[in-house]
Structure 1
Amino acid sequence: MKSISIYKHKSLAVTLQSFFQIHHKTHPTFSQSHSPNTVLDEFTASCYRKDLSSAIKALNFMQENHIWADSVTYSELVKCCLARGAIREAKLVQKHVFSNGYEPKTFLVNIFINMYVKFNMLDDARKLFDEMPERNVVSWTTMIAGFANAVLEDEAMRFLVLMVRDGVSPNTFTYSSVLKACSGLFSLRQIHCGISKAGLDSHVFVRSALIDNYSKWGELQNALVVFDEKDTRDLIVWNSVIGAFAQNSDGDEALSLFKRMKRCGLMADQATLTSVLRACTGLSLLELGRQVHVHVLKYDRDLILSNALLDMYCKCGSMEDARFEFSRMVDKDVISWSTMIIGLAQNGFSHDALETFQIMKRSGTKPNYITLLGVLFACSHAGLVDKGRLYFQSMEKFYGIKPGREHYGCMVDLLGRAGNLDEAVDLIHSMGSDPDVVTWRTLLGACKIHDNRDLAAYAAKRVLDLEPDDAGTYVLLSNVYAKTRRWEDADQVRKTMKRTNIKKEPGCSWIEVNKQIHAFMLRDNSHPEIDEIIRQLNHYAQRLKEAGYVPNTDCVLHDVEGEQMEDPLLHHSEKLAIVYGLMALTKGKTIRIKKNLRICEDCHQFAKLLANMENRYIVIRDPIRYHHFQGGVCSCGDYW
C-alpha cells in the first residue's frame, strides 16, 4: 500500500471530529472499512479530543498500513500521554513515527525528547538526541533543562559547551535552564559572561535566575549589581532581589529594596510579601510585620502567605497574634501545624504545644521531621523527661520518621537539663552518625548547670575538636571551673584564649521603637540618650534592691553567653534595652527585645521583678528561646 502523509492544520480538527462522530455511528470499528483517509481522520479527531484509547487503536492500524499523520497531531497525542503518565503508549507513538523509513521533522523529534525528559527517562532522551540528523536550539535546551532538573550539573554544563561548539547560539531559555545547574561560583561567573556577550542580560527570567544563583552562593553584592545594572519595572526581578536578601538574613537590605519597589509604583504580590515577612521575622520587627499583614489580607486564602505570617508572629514573640491567625486559617498543612507547635514551645508554652500536636493528629495531618522536633523541644524546655522519651522512641514506629541529629540534640538537652547526664552521654554514643558541634555544646551547657567539671572538660574537648576557635566553649568551660573553684584551670583556659587571640562575641540587645531599631552594647555610649538610660537604670536597680532584689554576682564570674566577665553586671545590654523601653514606649505597650547571646540568670531575675514592679509585659528573645515576663513570673518557669 502506498504511504500517505497528510499535513492538516488545527483548524480542521473540529470538522474532522464532527465527521468522525457521524462516521462512527455507521462504522463502529475503523478496521472494517480499511479506508486510509477514514482511519487518519479518526486518529486525528481522537488526538485532539484526548481520547487516548481510540487514538492508539487507530495508530496500530496506521502502523500496519504505513499511514502517517502530521507532526502537530502527533504532538497532541504526546501531550495526552504526558498528562496521563502513559509511558507505554508514548513509546508506541515514537515507534510508529520512526518506522518504515519515515523521517519526522525536527519539531516532532524535539517533542519526543521533551516527553522523555518529563518522564525522567534521560537515557531514552539522550539516545534520541544523539540520533538526530539536525539539532536546533530547542533540542539542546531541552536536554540541558533535563539534566539541570535531574541535578546532573556536569552534564548540563558539558552540553552547553557542546552546543556552542556545534554553532548553535543559546537563548534565554537555555541560560535560564543552565543557571540551575551551576555547581560553583566559577561556573556561574563564566555563564554570566556568556549571557552578557550574547546581550541577553536584560531578559527578565535570565536576570532573575542570575540574582537567584548569586544569592545561592552568598554573593549578595553581585546579585545587587545584576539588579542595579538596568532599570526594571518587572515584579519578577524585584521579587528575586528582595527574596535574595531576605533568605540570606539581610533583612535591612530586603526592606530597603521593598521600599524602593513601592516608590517605583509597583504593587507587591504573594512572593514579595512572603519575603518581606521573612525579613521582619529575622529582625523581630513586629510593628512592621503587622503593617505587612494589612497587605496580606487581599490574599486571605494563600496558604504560603498565611504560614509566613504565622511564623512572623511566633518569632516576634506575639503569641496572641499567632494564636488568632492560626485559629482563623481555613486550610492548615503540616507546615502550619509545625510552625505553631514550635512557636508555642519556643515561647515557653510547652503544654499548649503538646496539646496542639494532639489536635493535629486528630485532624488527620501526618507529622513530619520538623513537627517531631518541635514536640521534643517542648518536652525539653518543660522538663517532661518521660514524655520526651516516649515521643522519641515512638518516632519511627508510629510516624515512620527516623530520628536525626536535631532530635538527638533535643533529647540530650532534655536529659542534660534534668540532670541525667550519664543517660545523655549514652544517647550521644548511640547515634547512627557522628555527633555535631551543637550536640556536644548542648551537653556542655548541661554540665555547667549541674557543676559536672569532668564531663564538661570532655564535652568541651569534643566541641573544640570540631570548632577550634569557638570562643563560647572556652568561656563556658572557664566558668564551670570557676564555679567549682578550680581557679588555676579557669585561668589556664582564659590564657589559652588570649594566646590564640580568641575573642568572645560581645552581648548586644535590640529594641524596636517607632519603627526604628535601637541597639545596646556594654561600654558603647553611642546612643544619644545613654546618660539618661544609665541614670534610670540605677534608679530602677535601687528600687528593686529595696524590694529584695539581690544581684547574682555569679553571673559576673560565670556569664556563659553574656558580656565579658569583667563587665559590670548592672550594665548588661538587655537591662539597658529594657530601661530604654520603659522610657520610650507608652504605658501598657509590650517591651520586646532581641539578644544575640543567651540571657544570664541575673538579667532574667531583674526582668521578672521589674516587669512586676512596673506592671509591664516584657518579651526577650535570645538564640535559644523566648522569655515572656509578666506579674513577677516568666513563661519558661525558670527552667531554661
Structure 2
Amino acid sequence: MPPRVADPPPLAAARDPTAPASDPQGRREASAPSLHALFLRAVDPSRPSSWSAAVADLLSSGDPVAALAAFAAALRANPAALRPALPPALRAAAAATSLAAGRQLHLLALRSGLFPSDAYSGSALLHMYHHCSRPLDARRAFDIGLDEHAGVANTMLDAYAKGGGRELGTARKLFDMMERDAVSWNTMIALYAQSGLSAEALRLYDKMLNVGGGVRCNAVTLSSVLLACAHAGAIQTGKRIHNQVVRMGLEENVYVGTSVVDMYSKCGRVEMARRAFQRIKEKNVLSWSAMISGYGMHGYGQEALDVFSEMRRSGLKPNYITFISVLAACSHAGLLNEGRHWYNAMRKEFGIEPGVEHYGCMVDLLGRAGCLDEAYGLIKEMKVKPDAAMWGSLLGACRIHKNVELAGIVANRLFELDATNCGYYVLLSNIYAEVGMWKDAERLRVLVKTRGLEKPPGYSSVELKELLEKMREAGYAPNTGSVLHDLDEEEKGSMLRMHSEKLAVAFALMNSVKGSVIHVIKNLRVCTDCHTAIKIITKLTGREIVVRDIKRFHHFKDGLCSCGDYW
C-alpha cells in the first residue's frame, strides 16, 4: 500500500501553486516556477475544460495534492469548471488517500446538483471511497441514484472484483440486476476465474456469447476465460478458446498470448505453450516469466533457465515475478547450485530484495535436497515473516528425510499460525507413523477428532484387479510405507489400490482412445506408491500419462517420469 499522504487544507482555502512563497522573515521572493505552476500558467481561465486538463495533468505528474489545490483555484476563477474538473479532483483525492478532501468534494457535488445526474463524477466518487477503504460509503452513494448509470455500476462491480472472493455474492447480485455491457461481463467472468470458480466463469462466458445486443467478447474476455481453463486444467475448452483467439487475430497480442501460454502450461501441454509463446510479437516480462514458469512446473528446469537466458539477451530486465519463476523451476528440477546462484544474484546483480515467495522456493529446494539445517537457517534469518506455506514445505521435507526432531519444531510453528488446519496435524502424524512412532501418530489423530477438524474425503471406485496382476508380473510391489496407519501388510496393500490416482488412471484406460495421452488432475501431492505404479502402467500399456498434482506436473512414459523421481 502506498504511504498515506496528509490531507490537504480545506479546498476553499487551498494554496494557489502559482503564488510566490514567503521566507521565514516574511519577505516574498520570486523563485523558479515549478512544473505545477507551469501547468497552471497554461490555463485559459475562461475555459472550464482548460482547468479540468490542468487538474488531470497535475494528477498524472504524480502530485495529487497540487491537483486538489488547482481544483480550488479553478473554482475561484471560474465556477463553471466544477463539472469537468470534479472527476480528476476526486481521483486526486483517491491518489492522496485523502478521505477528508473526498468527502468535501462529494458534498460540493451534492450541493451543486451534479449527483446523481453526472455518471463520470459518480464513477470517480465510488473510486475515491473504495481507494480510501470506505466500501460502505461507496455503496450508500451508489444506492442513492448512481445505480441508474451503466458506467457507474461497472465501477461498483470493479470495486467488488478487487475485493476478491469475499465480495463474490454481492457482485453477482449487482451484475444480475444491472444493465450489462462488455465491461460488466468481462469483470464478472474475471472475478469468477480469479476466485478459482472456473465452471462458473465458463458458464458465464457461454451465456455472454448468446445474449446478443451487440455485446461481443474481446481480448479481456478471452484472457479471463483462458485463466479459468488454466485453473481447471480444461484442455479441450482451452483449445476452443485458443481457436477463437486465432480467428480474432489476437495470437500476437502480448496479453492474450501470455494467457494462452499459461493455459497450455497448466493443462499439461508445455510444448504447445512454447509454440504460443513464439507467436507473441512483442514479449514483455510477464510473457517470459510465464514461459519460464511453464517449463518449471513440468520439471524442465534446464529449459526454464534457457528461456531465462533468452530473456536477458533480449534486453528485458527480470523482475520480482521472474525470479519466483526461476527459483521455482530450480526447486522442481532439484537444481540446487543454480538455485543458490540466482537467489544470490537476484539481490546483488538485479537489486531485487527477496520476498516471501522467493524464500519459499529456496526452502523447498533446500529441504527436498536434504539441506534441512540450511533451509531452517534461511527461515530464521528472513527479513519478512515466514508464512504457513513455507513452514509446511519444510515440514514436508522433514517427512522425506525422516527428521522427527525438526518436524516437531516446525509443526509447533504451524500450529501457532493456524491451529485449525487439519493438514498440518495429519502430516506430522504421518511423519511419526513412517518411523514407527504409532502412539504419537495416534495421539495427533485423536487430537484432530477432539478438536472437530475435518479433511474433506473423496470417494471413487473402479475394478483394478486385472491391471494389478499385470503390474505385479512386471515387478510392482506395493510401497506400504505410503499407508500411514498401524495395519497389517495385506490391509495396507488394499488401501493403496484405492488411491485416487490409480482409480483415475484405470478409468481413463477403459474410456479413452488407444494411444491418446491420459491427463489426471489431483488436489494433493502424488504419493510414492502411486508414482511407482503409474510408471509401471505406462510401460505395460504403452500409454503416456500426465499427472498434475498440487505442486507440479509428472509426465510418465515408458516406465519413467519426467521428475526423475524427485518431487
TM-score range, shorter chain: 0.7 to 0.9
**CA deviation profile, 1:168-211 (whole Å, cap 9, x unmatched):** 4242112212322344999435433433432x424332222222
Range with greater deviation from structure 2 (354-363 or 279-288)? 354-363
1:540 to 458, 461, 467: 467
Q: 1:187/1:432 Cα in 2 relative to 1: closer, same or farther (>3 Å)?
A: closer
Matched, 1:225 2:167: no
Structure 1 partner of 2:235: 286
Q: 1:114/1:336 Cα in 2 relative to 1: closer, same or farther (>3 Å)?
A: closer
1:591 to 518, 523, 538: 518
Check whether the contact 1:621–1:627 (CA below 8 A) recurs between aligned residues.
yes
Structure 2 partner of 1:255: 202
Matched, 1:126 2:68: yes
Q: CA deviation at 1:319?
A: 1.2
Structure whose alpha-carbon radius of gyration is higher: 1
1:578 to 505, 528, 531: 505
**Amino acid of the residue matched to residue 413 of structure 2?**
R
1:143 to 72, 75, 89: 89
CA distance in 1, matches of 2:132, 2:477: 56
Structure 1 partner of 2:154: 208
CA distance in 1, matches of 2:82, 2:560: 72
CA distance in 1, matches of 2:263, 2:565: 25
Check whether the contact 1:136–1:168 (CA below 8 A) recurs between aligned residues.
no
Check whether the contact 1:157–1:181 (CA below 8 A) recurs between aligned residues.
no
Matched, 1:456 2:407: yes
Q: CA deviation at 1:348?
A: 1.3
Q: CA RMSD in A?
A: 2.6
Matches within 5 A, 1:159-178: 159-165=105-111, 167-170=113-116, 171-178=118-125
Structure 1 partner of 2:11: none
Matches within 5 A, 1:470-619: 470-506=421-457, 521-522=458-459, 524=460, 530=461, 534-535=462-463, 537-557=464-484, 568-619=495-546
CA distance in 2, matches of 1:160, 1:588: 66
CA distance in 2, matches of 1:121, 1:186: 21
CA distance in 1, matches of 2:284, 2:60: 28
Check whether the contact 1:476–1:558 (CA below 8 A) recurs between aligned residues.
no
**CA deviation profile, 1:37-94 (whole Å, cap 9, x unmatched):** xxxxxxxxxxxxxxxxxxxxxxxxxxxxxxxxxxxxxxxxxxxxxxxxx985762463
| Residue identity (%) | 39
Matched, 1:296 2:252: no
Residue ranges of structure 2 left out of the alignment (5+ in a row) = 1-31, 487-491
CA distance in 2, matches of 1:323, 1:353: 11
Check whether the contact 1:153–1:183 (CA below 8 A) recurs between aligned residues.
no
Q: 1:635/1:88 Cα in 2 relative to 1: closer, same or farther (>3 Å)?
A: same
**CA deviation profile, 1:185-241 (whole Å, cap 9, x unmatched):** 99435433433432x424332222222222222322222222221454x32222122
Check whether the contact 2:363–2:394 (CA below 8 A) recurs between aligned residues.
yes
**TM-score (normalizing by structure 1):** 0.76
Q: 1:498/1:364 Cα in 2 relative to 1: closer, same or farther (>3 Å)?
A: same
Matched, 1:383 2:325: no
CA distance in 1, matches of 2:33, 2:333: 54
CA distance in 2, matches of 1:276, 1:167: 41
**Amino acid of the residue matched to residue 235 of structure 1?**
A
Structure 2 partner of 1:244: 191
CA distance in 2, matches of 1:177, 1:241: 20
Q: CA deviation at 1:550?
A: 0.8
2:219 to 257, 270, 277: 270
Number of residues paired by the alignment? 520
Q: 1:108/1:391 Cα in 2 relative to 1: closer, same or farther (>3 Å)?
A: closer
**Amino acid of the residue matched to residue 174 of structure 2?**
V
CA distance in 2, matches of 1:314, 1:151: 39
Check whether the contact 2:480–2:493 (CA below 8 A) recurs between aligned residues.
no
**Amino acid of the residue matched to residue 574 of structure 1?**
E
Check whether the contact 2:483–2:496 (CA below 8 A) recurs between aligned residues.
yes
Q: CA deviation at 1:127?
A: 2.5
**TM-score (normalizing by structure 2):** 0.86
SS in 2 for 1:557: coil
**Amino acid of the residue matched to residue 450 of structure 1?**
H
CA distance in 1, matches of 2:352, 2:183: 37
Structure 1 partner of 2:17: none
Q: 1:633/1:195 Cα in 2 relative to 1: closer, same or farther (>3 Å)?
A: same
Structure 2 partner of 1:82: none
Check whether the contact 2:97–2:131 (CA below 8 A) recurs between aligned residues.
no
Check whether the contact 1:480–1:558 (CA below 8 A) recurs between aligned residues.
no
CA distance in 2, matches of 1:629, 1:417: 21
Check whether the contact 2:518–2:546 (CA below 8 A) recurs between aligned residues.
yes
SS in 2 for 1:126: helix
Check whether the contact 2:123–2:152 (CA below 8 A) recurs between aligned residues.
yes
Matched, 1:308 2:259: yes
**Amino acid of the residue matched to residue 487 of structure 1?**
W
2:553 to 612, 615, 626: 626
Range with greater deviation from structure 2 (464-473 or 368-377)? 368-377
**Amino acid of the residue matched to residue 378 of structure 1?**
A
SS in 2 for 1:267: coil
CA distance in 1, matches of 2:476, 2:194: 43
Residue ranges of structure 1 left out of the alignment (5+ in a row) = 1-85, 507-520, 525-529, 560-564
Check whether the contact 2:202–2:228 (CA below 8 A) recurs between aligned residues.
yes
Matches within 5 A, 1:411-430: 411-430=362-381
Q: CA deviation at 1:586?
A: 0.7
**CA deviation profile, 1:572-596 (whole Å, cap 9, x unmatched):** 1222211111122111221111111
**Amino acid of the residue matched to residue 205 of structure 2?**
F
